[in-house]
Structure 1
Amino acid sequence: MTESPPPDRTPLTVADVLRLPVLAAGQPTVVCGHDRLSRAVRWVHVTELTDPASFLKGGELVLTTGMPLPTEPALIRSYVDELAQVGAAGLVIELVRRYRQPPDALVRACRSHDLPLVVLTREVNFVDVTQTVHALILGSQVESLRRTQQVHEAFTSLTLRGASPDELVRAAAEMSGHPVVLENLIHQAILHDTAGRPLTDVLGGWERRSRATSSPQRTDVCGPESWLVTPVEYQGERWGRLVMVPDSTSPPTFGADQVMVLERAAMALSIARLVHGRPWERAAHRTALLDIVERRYRSAPEARARLDALGVPTHGRQLVIVLVTVAEGMGELEKTVVQELRDAGARALVAEISGTRVGVLLALPATRTWRPVVERVAKAVRHRHPAAVVSVGGEVDDLTEVARSFQDAVRVGEAAVPGERAYVERSDIGLRELLHALRNEVQLQDYVERCLGRLIEHDDRHGGDLLATLHAYLDAAGNKTLAARRRSISRQALYERLHTIERLLDRDLESGWDRSELHVALTALGVQRLSAGTPSGEPAGRPAVRRPTTTDT
């Protein structure tokens, strides 16, 4: 966490100086240049010279009694021209000794340059004015230097310890007191910190608002909402920009402090981009997806605003969770999924959510079906990972229901038999898939052992094929002629083997109940062996049965 920032030290302006008691005692009146009173005052200069501009550097508030002013209008005009040309902040003239009202030529000249002209109707000690103003300016400069050092040290410390991009954006928001948003070139809000403001206020309609705000070459206030914007580069190429959002309830103003914080944050982010190689868009998608499926959001409107700002609109869309699961070796799985979805023109959150799984939140228009999109992704994935499982949750139309779609996809994925279908949805889950999901359960393993164990042992000892014979018989629904043909044996040989099976298992193969139990056991054995890597068509020796452990009890 960063320290709370001290109050922002904005430059002293002409208006600020006029409000000081030492000058207010002279009852100042602004004759012209009212709209330029926000000019910064770098110094106060008292002069009775007719050519004071030669001693000025710009930003000075000039104080004079008016005694040396020339009488000729042309010379007065030349006097003001020089002040304007050098960049004086304003001219204050005391109407006590020489004038009772400012000369018309002086007023016209100041008005033509929009130079603030202030008259004092009471005598003021100019030395007191300069001492007061200079003390304020010098104090502000010292504080500004101290503040600059604090900001520099804070971001240097964050950079040296390898702070994440999220931390850098959070630090910028805390130091400035304003929301800060990092976006890419296509106006997607990758990272943000709202500085305590409602997320919907900061990110609502982000892309539209962002596109209405121009991108300056250097830090500047831009757009209809007066955002403070600075470019962010990576290896010399601009890839995004950092935005500071003003408070909408007050006039948008940013001081030197906010500019400094935003620029230092942008520099730190550029360095972090070199250190953290993984694209930040992917990290943003991962965080958003996990927050949605785990319901880590304050409200549905905030969640929608966040996804909209990432370029994934959800209002009025059909939402579907898709999970791509591989046994090992993710490789560029996430990249493959992202590319296929992009080529299909589908909006989606895509993120690697575990070491073996990529999650997708599809957000498609209500008129577009998700199946062709998922099939395209599945084919590309299966081309590189033949045993990958692509599971699909139930379709929902509300962001608050996405967590349910995710749980559906997880259960479907756990039940799916690898390598059989391009993708699997709930309607594909039958008995075989259910048994596959339960394949590691002790109760199911024990059931298979009790039903078929003696048969498997007999085949192991004698090199027989009774298990395959039973499989053919049950698949033929008890049709012995069909079963014998499938096993390429005579009916008499089949009868003998079936009799041996009944004796070994103590079962009646004419019983529908016994057939059902044995069929379930054979199906369970098949999915267990498939998971172990044994070809399902060639049953191998009996698989090891997992024994109960202390965690099971």
Structure 2
Amino acid sequence: MTTTPDTWEPVEPTLSVRQVLALERVLAGEPEVVAGASQLDRAVRWVHVAEAADVGVMLSGGEMVLTTGVLLAGDEGAQADYIQSLHRAEAAAVVLGLGRAFPATPDVMRRAAERCGLPMVVLHRPFPFAELTEEVQARLVRRKFAAVSLSEAVRTALTGLITAGAPLQHLLDEVAQHSGCPVVVTNLAHRVLATAGERPAVDDVLRDWERIARQAGGSEGDGWIRAELAGRGERWGRITLCGYRGDTATGRLLADRAAEALVLHRMLGGTSAHTWEEQSAQGLLTDLVSGVVPARQLLPRARAAGLPVNRRTFVPLVVRDGETPQLDRVLRMLGLSGIVAELADGAVAVLLSLARDQDAPALTAHFVARLRTESGSSKAVVAAADACTGWDDVPAGLREAQHVADAVADSSAVLDLPAVVRLKDVHLRGLIRLLRDDPHVQSFAERELDGLLCATGDDLLAVLRTYLASGRNKSRTAQLHHVSRPALYRRLEAIQARLGVDLDDFEQAASVHIALLAHDAQQG
């Protein structure tokens, strides 16, 4: 259960010098910026009224200092030292009220402030500093309280999701809703593991992710707020709020709360950064295979996941009796670029990304040979589609490889197939797999096998399947079904009677065989 509002507005940014000067009470004092005009967007952490010449030693940075300069009048050296002291203390600005001490702007202070880039403002009309201090500090306190409240709301919501056993994506969706911007989780190599936020905004971020990753250690002033993912002395990733519109301090609170939740989620769920990588690859390959999302829209995700996509040749593979970690290991051993993920039916998809001048068939064969060597078994079946030189052809290639793998799984002659099986190697069985969902093919299969499909309690369909698969070899069929030849003859006669066909006639036998292949493909 979450209490997140439907539309979250980020906390209003911390007051800047420019915003303070725009307050109604300040405008009544007729403020004039006489130095440091380019630095008016500095954040004001606090407002401090001080007349002491050595005020800098009492500051901690970010203060707007208000003064009448009564202790500085007539001493130009003290005036210059005063500005230098504020600069060293990293004050946000200095506001000088003109009056008895300084009827006009002191030129020494103005020049010193301009040299060190410190905003200096003079007030031409008498102004009660207490009113400005009260208003600004009340506003700052309200903002700080709002930021802390937001931080606690996020922590409560994320903790509730973790307690309920929610997946990683739900946590990131919650963070994105609170922050109002795309959220990206990466590993130490800056590869994207997961994202959240409005899809168009996320795609815009991922489209330029290579540049963004190179600048990962840059300033957070542009709304890119980052927090490290680490636990038990190990740093293993990073979460980034991309283009957060609120103030940096609030963004850091949000990012820190999110990082805490992700680390806790990983520890309690027994997952790892590698597991998140697998989930990311699985989501990408599943979307490619399904075709629900156009391939062009998935290109930013593939690039951000670390898959080379520019001027590449892609080889779609589907492996049966293979394991994802094992396939990942073989890719690394051979120095090949690619992504690996388990598909919904238990098969494992592999998408190789090769340079245009590399020999795709040879490298694919080498990959399969090493896979079998590493697994210590020749049982792994690797189905491949023809290499794709365009990204838009990858979804169809993956689906073709999946069809070939399914056809091989149905075949009783796997050992006679090459190491890398392609559509041409599965012949009629492969064609039937591709056409199995066609309504005409379904009607044909039901019509041809109707006499057997309606029967229950006997094994005539299994006998027919073996008889046709063995090339109508009666001796072999009898042996495989552990029956005598006379018993087999009686069953074949029953099959022919029910179907109304003569299995000794090649064309009729072929028609029944095709129908049986289609039926098995539809069922399996």
TM-score, structure 1 normalization: 0.72
Contact 2:182 2:201 in 1 (8 A): no
| C-alpha displacement of 1:267 | 2.4
Contact 2:463 2:477 in 1 (8 A): no
**Could you say what secondary structure the match of 1:100 adopts?**
coil
Contact 2:478 2:485 in 1 (8 A): no
Question: Could you say which residue in structure 2 is the equivalent of 1:176?
Answer: 179
In 2, Cα distance between equivalents of 1:168 and 1:425: 41
When you count helix as a share of all residues, which structure comes out higher? Answer: 2
Question: Could you say which residue in structure 1 is the equivalent of 2:458?
Answer: none
Aligned residue type for 2:420: Y
Aligned residue type for 1:119: V
Question: Could you say which residue in structure 1 is the equivalent of 2:320?
Answer: 325
Aligned residue type for 1:341: L
Question: Could you say which residue in structure 2 is the equivalent of 1:258?
Answer: 251
CA gap 1:408/1:214 in 2 versus in 1, 3 angstroms: closer
Question: Could you say which residue in structure 2 is the equivalent of 1:409?
Answer: 401
| C-alpha displacement of 1:293 | 0.8
Contact 1:435 1:523 in 2 (8 A): no
| C-alpha displacement of 1:85 | 4.3
| C-alpha displacement of 1:164 | 2.5
1:268 to 2:258 alignment: no
Question: Could you say which residue in structure 2 is the equivalent of 1:185?
Answer: 188
Q: Structure 2: where are the runs of 5+ without partners?
A: 437-444, 454-460, 497-502
Question: Could you say which residue in structure 1 is the equivalent of 2:350?
Answer: 360
CA gap 1:459/1:187 in 2 versus in 1, 3 angstroms: closer
**Could you say what secondary structure the match of 1:168 adopts?**
helix
Contact 1:323 1:409 in 2 (8 A): yes
The correspondence of residues 12-27 of structure 1 with structure 2, limited to 5 A, is: 12-27=15-30
Contact 2:296 2:391 in 1 (8 A): no
Aligned residue type for 2:281: H
Question: Could you say which residue in structure 1 is the equivalent of 2:298?
Answer: 303
Contact 1:215 1:231 in 2 (8 A): no
1:67-126 CA distance string (max 9 Å, x none):
343412223334444444444432222223343312233334434443322111112232
The correspondence of residues 78-477 of structure 1 with structure 2, limited to 5 A, is: 78-211=81-214, 213-215=215-217, 221=220, 227-246=224-243, 254-274=247-267, 275-277=269-271, 279-297=275-293, 299-326=294-321, 333-354=323-344, 356-382=346-372, 383-416=375-408, 417-421=413-417, 422-430=419-427, 445=462, 447=464
CA gap 1:430/1:354 in 2 versus in 1, 3 angstroms: same
Contact 1:340 1:376 in 2 (8 A): no
Aligned residue type for 2:283: T
1:291-348 CA distance string (max 9 Å, x none):
0110132x4432111111112234543333211123xxx6xx2122222233333322
**Could you say what secondary structure the match of 1:187 adopts?**
coil
CA gap 1:97/1:519 in 2 versus in 1, 3 angstroms: same
Which moves more between the two structures, 353-362 or 15-24? 353-362
In 2, Cα distance between equivalents of 1:412 and 1:171: 41
Aligned residue type for 2:348: V
In 2, Cα distance between equivalents of 1:367 and 1:516: 48
Aligned residue type for 1:399: W
Aligned residue type for 1:414: D
| C-alpha displacement of 1:288 | 0.4
**Could you say what secondary structure the match of 1:197 adopts?**
helix
Which moves more between the two structures, 405-414 or 14-23? 405-414
| C-alpha displacement of 1:155 | 2.7
In 2, Cα distance between equivalents of 1:33 and 1:296: 55
Aligned residue type for 1:261: L
In 2, Cα distance between equivalents of 1:294 and 1:15: 53
In 1, Cα distance between equivalents of 2:480 and 2:16: 97
In 1, Cα distance between equivalents of 2:333 and 2:480: 53
In 2, Cα distance between equivalents of 1:89 and 1:435: 75
Identity %: 28
Aligned residue type for 1:336: Q
| C-alpha displacement of 1:23 | 1.0
In 2, Cα distance between equivalents of 1:340 and 1:125: 74
Which moves more between the two structures, 42-51 or 100-109? 42-51
1:513-539 CA distance string (max 9 Å, x none):
947479979999xx99xxxxxxxxxxx
Contact 2:186 2:193 in 1 (8 A): yes
In 2, Cα distance between equivalents of 1:461 and 1:21: 96
| C-alpha displacement of 1:198 | 4.1
Contact 2:314 2:391 in 1 (8 A): yes
Aligned residue type for 2:299: R
Question: How many pairs align?
Answer: 476
Aligned residue type for 1:368: Q
**Could you say what secondary structure the match of 1:221 adopts?**
coil
| C-alpha displacement of 1:203 | 0.9
Contact 2:223 2:248 in 1 (8 A): no
Contact 1:102 1:119 in 2 (8 A): yes
Contact 1:41 1:61 in 2 (8 A): yes
Contact 1:454 1:504 in 2 (8 A): no
1:465-492 CA distance string (max 9 Å, x none):
8999x9xxxxxxxxxxxxxxxxxxxxxx
CA gap 1:314/1:103 in 2 versus in 1, 3 angstroms: closer
CA gap 1:196/1:257 in 2 versus in 1, 3 angstroms: farther
Aligned residue type for 2:324: E
In 2, Cα distance between equivalents of 1:215 and 1:350: 29
Contact 1:9 1:257 in 2 (8 A): no
CA gap 1:277/1:129 in 2 versus in 1, 3 angstroms: closer
Aligned residue type for 2:188: L
| C-alpha displacement of 1:360 | 1.5
| C-alpha displacement of 1:389 | 2.4
Aligned residue type for 1:268: A
Contact 1:388 1:418 in 2 (8 A): no
| C-alpha displacement of 1:41 | 2.6
| C-alpha displacement of 1:425 | 0.9
1:440-497 CA distance string (max 9 Å, x none):
98676575689979978988999978999x9xxxxxxxxxxxxxxxxxxxxxxxxxxx
**Could you say what secondary structure the match of 2:251 adopts?**
helix
In 1, Cα distance between equivalents of 2:361 and 2:16: 64
Contact 1:32 1:117 in 2 (8 A): yes
Question: Could you say which residue in structure 2 is the equivalent of 1:490?
Answer: none
